[in-house]
Amino acid sequence: MEFEWTEPDAQFRKDLQDFLGENLPASWEQIAHHGPGADQTADFSRSFCAKLAERGWLTQSWPAEYGGEDASPWRHAIVSEEMWQRGEPRGSQYMNVNWIGPTIMEYGSEEQKRDHLSRISRGDVLWCQGFSEPEAGSDLASLRTRAWREGDDYVVDGTKIWTSYVNGAEYCFLLVRTDPESKGGRGITVLLAPMDAPGIVVREIPAVIGERYFHELFFDRARIPAHCRLGAEGEGWGVVRYALAYERVGAARYARAARTLDSLAAHAREQGLFDDSAVQEKLGAALTLVEAARILTYRVIDLRARGSAPTADTNLARIAGTLCENAVSDLAVELLGTEALAYGHAAEAYFRMAMTAGVAVGTTEMNLDLVAGRQLGLPRS
Amino acid sequence: MDFELDADQRAIVEAVDALLVRHAGARRAAELAQSGGYDHALDDALEASGFAQVARGEETGLLEAVLITEAIARSAGVVSAGAALIVAPALCAEPLPGPIALAERGDARPLRFAAQARSLLLAEGDEARWIAIEDGSAEPVDNRFALPMGRWRSALPEGQPLGAGSGERMRAHWRLALAAELLGYMEAALDLTVGYLKERHQFGRPIGSFQAVQHRLALCSVLVEGTRWLSYEAAAKGADPQACTTAAAHAADSARQLFRETHQLSGAMGFTREHDLHVWSMRLPLLRVELGGASQHRRSLARERWGGAPKPGGGT
Ligand SMILES: Cc1cc2nc3c(=O)[nH]c(=O)nc-3n(C[C@H](O)[C@H](O)[C@H](O)COP(=O)(O)OP(=O)(O)OC[C@H]3O[C@@H](n4cnc5c(N)ncnc54)[C@H](O)[C@@H]3O)c2cc1C
């Protein structure tokens, strides 16, 4: 065992920090406050990701044949930590790099790889994720959005919901059911759907967590060219599982929790509260959870670095991440009081983002189910 | 001991509920949350029908005030009910101009209802003060927590002292008011969530039929009912300080859990403005930190119980 960063990795983190110091303007904090789905954030991500791409850092974990550097998953983890700590200046493009690109590499046609991977790696394209439906949330495999072939197109009919990052998105990674007789995972197909296809209508769903977090996408006999299908018709569930295995370790949410906790400790010091043993105990308790989330995430990265198939460790890491975010945002409110609830305060933005940790990207309960089944071998109810 | 409401109390609760159906409710609260507004019309209606003054009544008192405050919270009323119905009557014989805000001296953080308040009750050591507030004394603080907050623009006038012992009396009643309001919010948030999970199907059955979900909702119910009876007991005991602190400590800690669980179990729907959960749930973080939050309530409670004479001021 070895729990140290290699010299080159440590150097890379330093270089990345310097880069962020130079390329995140003073106004970034204010931009980030609008939330990850806001226009300002989407706009910012374009120029920022282009700069990252120039340095070769946007897709360095990708294989060399797709313009990456075959960098280890540990590099990927460093990028994720540094970005999340600063409120994820890549905006929605972290999805492109983390799982949309890799899934296209695995399942895409030569044409799809050519069209999509080069744009993703230049940082000049935005995507959104069309999985959830009004009646298919936790039970994603029950999705019903229909698609059938008519000539060279798929005609898509149905509704997607909770879609984030819709503004500016050119493509939607869309799940549809192509076999109307099928149930569950079978009969699902993935379409890399252009958002300007006729028949797609977008509605924002106003949310307390921030602007433009959620949208509903209505597909009213929308026509998506058949060449946009990713993988074989009816085989989409395998594609989704592949994508989700990448998605779920994607975000180093604990890194933002750690940074928030640092600022809470600094606040406690300034206010003369740090010597209060009860305050120390709370800070220590929250830090323990942050560290547990970090180490469990590293465990997943280690498995990936060895090329192992995904295990329940991924689910453990996600759950630990949610526990740490809940603890840190609770503590922020307890230490700062109503100050932490004033719009514009960094702790307030953190609070709203952390609220969704146990729901977004697969709920805690679904992760617990997988731990119970895969890790503990408990029988299904 | 008798845990049943008597006929008069039942009639009061029914009457206030009937008024609230007309004048309050989730939709109205959601609109006010968007605009940052205060429900003056609801205050007027409560005043006109006499509910605002029950604590000063001849036949009614603190318990009735708690029941009405809870009902107002359950209907998501955007009014300073706890301060008006529970706290002010314990300090002043005559009604104060409302809305009423509550604060501790030296706390410069955003304050519930500061921008609307015409009266401020200020706890300072062993004494409380009443300060008449001029229009525009506070600037509104934009927030997503479903109640208006504000911050004083400049130092406030000295105001009028309310006598020795008024500080402790104010804190006890303030804690009781917090418990009663949190109770109403928690009940409503839990009811809504339980109802939603009975209806919402996943995996071919109502989500509420999964035992893992049921147990968590049942635990929430334990917390709500504990808060309920501790609050009623504290009111019935005339706002006995230790009983009020117990109720507030239980309420504040339960509020943290109820906030997490109702949101977690409502899924993405619970984060929208189209689902009503937020009008109650988002107030929970706001109230659970008032007056130092659970951490201060617990410390006070330990001192009240085992620490000999309470420290003047009751703070840390
Ligand atoms: C911030 C945010 C961003 C999102 N972005 C996107 C996006 O871009 N694209 C997209 O497709 N989706 C997105 N989602 C949707 C997300 O994937 C779903 O919210 C999630 O899958 C849960 O579905 P649901 O909200 O319908 O909850 P439901 O399925 O209604 O579940 C409600 C609650 O019940 C629990 N539950 C359900 N079944 C069981 C059971 N058997 N046992 C125990 N508990 C159970 C759930 O875990 C949850 O806590 C986003 C969600 C959030 C919060």
d(CA A362, CA A134): 15
Class of domain A252-375: mainly alpha
Which of B199, B263, B264, B280 to substitute to test the interface with A, most A CBs within 10 Å? B264
CATH number for the segment(s) A128-234? 2.40.110.10
Q: Do B142 and A343 touch (CB under 8 A)?
A: yes
Please write the tens of the pLDDT for every residue from B175-228: 999 999 999 999 999 999 999 999 999 999 999 999 999 999 999 999 999 999
- Kindly indicate the confidence band of residue A150, based on its pLDDT and cuts at 50, 70 and 90: very high
- Kindly indicate the confidence band of residue B308, based on its pLDDT and cuts at 50, 70 and 90: confident
- Which fold does the domain A7-125 belong to in CATH? Butyryl-Coa Dehydrogenase, subunit A; domain 1 (1.10.540)
Q: Do A338 and B109 touch (CB under 8 A)?
A: yes
Q: What is the 3-state secondary structure (H, E, C) of chain B?
A: CCCCCCHHHHHHHHHHHHHHHHHCCHHHHHHHHHHCCCCHHHHHHHHHCCHHHHHHCCCCCHHHHHHHHHHHHHCCCCCCHHHHHHHHHHHCCCCCCCCEEEEECCCCCCEECCCCCCEEEEEECCEEEEEECCCCCEEEECCCCCCCEEEECCCCCCCEEEEECHHHHHHHHHHHHHHHHHHHHHHHHHHHHHHHHHHCEECCEEHHHCHHHHHHHHHHHHHHHHHHHHHHHHHHCCCCHHHHHHHHHHHHHHHHHHHHHHHHHHHHHHHECCCCHHHHHCHHHHHHCHHHHHHHHHHHHHHHHHCCCCCCCCCC
H/E element holding A268? helix A253-270
Query: Which residue type does A211 have?
Result: E
Segment B46-52 mean pLDDT:
96
Please write the tens of the pLDDT for every residue from A164-207: 999 899 999 999 999 999 988 999 999 999 999 999 999 999 99
For residue A214, what are the β-bridge partners?
A205
Please write the tens of the pLDDT for every residue from B292-303: 999 999 999 999
Domain with CATH 2.40.110.10 in chain A: 128-234
- Kindly indicate the confidence band of residue A247, based on its pLDDT and cuts at 50, 70 and 90: low
Domains in chain B (CATH in brackets) are 168-306 (1.20.140.10)
Residue B137 has pLDDT above 90, yes or no: yes
Please write the tens of the pLDDT for every residue from A307-363: 888 889 999 999 999 999 999 999 999 999 999 999 999 999 999 999 999 999 889
Segment B95-111 mean pLDDT:
96
Domain with CATH 1.20.140.10 in chain A: 252-375
Residue B111 has pLDDT above 50, yes or no: yes
Tell me which DSSP letter residue A231 carries. Answer: S
User: Which backbone phi and psi does B200 adopt, to 5 degrees?
Assistant: -75, 120
Contact criterion met (CB below 8 Å) for B6 and B64: no
Q: Do B110 and A342 touch (CB under 8 A)?
A: yes
Nearest to B223 by CA among B179, B280, B267, B192: B179
Q: How far is the CA of A137 from the centre of ligand 1 (A)?
A: 5
How high is the pLDDT of residue A361? 85
What residues have CB less than 8 Å from B296, skipping those under 6 apart?
A: B315, B316
Residue A228 has pLDDT above 90, yes or no: yes
Q: Cα distance from A93 to chain B (closest Cα, Å)?
A: 22
Domain with CATH 1.10.540.10 in chain A: 7-125
Residue A250 has pLDDT above 70, yes or no: no
How high is the pLDDT of residue B311? 55
d(CA B94, CA A345): 39
Please write the tens of the pLDDT for every residue from A253-281: 999 999 999 999 999 999 999 999 999 99
Which residue owns the Cα nearest ligand 1 atom 51?
A360
Instruction: Classify burial at A379, counting beta carbons within 10 Å of its beta carbon; exposed 0-12, middle 13-18, buried 19 or more.
Output: exposed
Residue A56 has pLDDT above 60, yes or no: yes
User: Which backbone phi and psi does A186 adopt, to 5 degrees?
Assistant: -70, 145
How high is the pLDDT of residue A36? 79
Contact criterion met (CB below 8 Å) for B272 and B263: no
Segment A82-86 mean pLDDT:
93
**Set of chain B residues whose Cβ sits within 8 Å of the Cβ of A363:** 264, 267
User: Which backbone phi and psi does A124 adopt, to 5 degrees?
Assistant: -120, 30
Place of tokens 């109640």: B147
**Lowest-pLDDT range of A35-39, A245-249, B238-242, B281-285:** A245-249
The reply to whether the predicted model has a pTM over 0.90 is yes
Of A138, A207, A338, the CB nearest to B286: A338
- Kindly indicate the confidence band of residue B315, based on its pLDDT and cuts at 50, 70 and 90: very low
DSSP per-residue letters across A139-201: -GGG---EEEEETTEEEEEEEEES--S-TT--EEEEEEE--TT--TTTTEEEEEEETTSTTEE
Place of tokens 């009876």: B229
- Kindly indicate the confidence band of residue A208, based on its pLDDT and cuts at 50, 70 and 90: very high
Q: Rounded mean pLDDT of chain A?
A: 94
b/e sequence B182-207, b meaning 16+ C-beta within 10 Å:
bbbbbbbbbebbbebbeebebeeeeb
Residue B314 has pLDDT above 80, yes or no: no
Which residue owns the Cα nearest ligand 1 atom 35?
B265
d(CA B168, CA B124): 9
Question: Is the peptide bond preceding residue A379 cis, with omega within 30 degrees of 0?
Answer: no
**Set of chain B residues whose Cβ sits within 8 Å of the Cβ of A332:** none
Residue A132 sits at the chain B interface (C-beta within 8 Å): yes
Maximum CA extent, chain B: 64
Contact criterion met (CB below 8 Å) for A71 and A223: no
Residue B120 has pLDDT above 90, yes or no: yes
Q: Which residues, judged by CB distance below 6 Å to any ligand atom, belong to the binding site of ligand 1?
A: A 128-132, 137-138, 162-164, 213, 356, 359-360, 363, 365-366; B 200, 202-203, 207, 210, 212-213, 264-265, 267-268, 271
d(CA B36, CA B32): 6
**Token digits for B52?**
């605002």
- Kindly indicate the confidence band of residue B316, based on its pLDDT and cuts at 50, 70 and 90: very low
d(CA A350, CA B58): 49
Residue A245 has pLDDT above 90, yes or no: no
Residue B285 sits at the chain A interface (C-beta within 8 Å): yes
Q: Do B267 and A363 touch (CB under 8 A)?
A: yes
Segment B38-49 mean pLDDT:
97
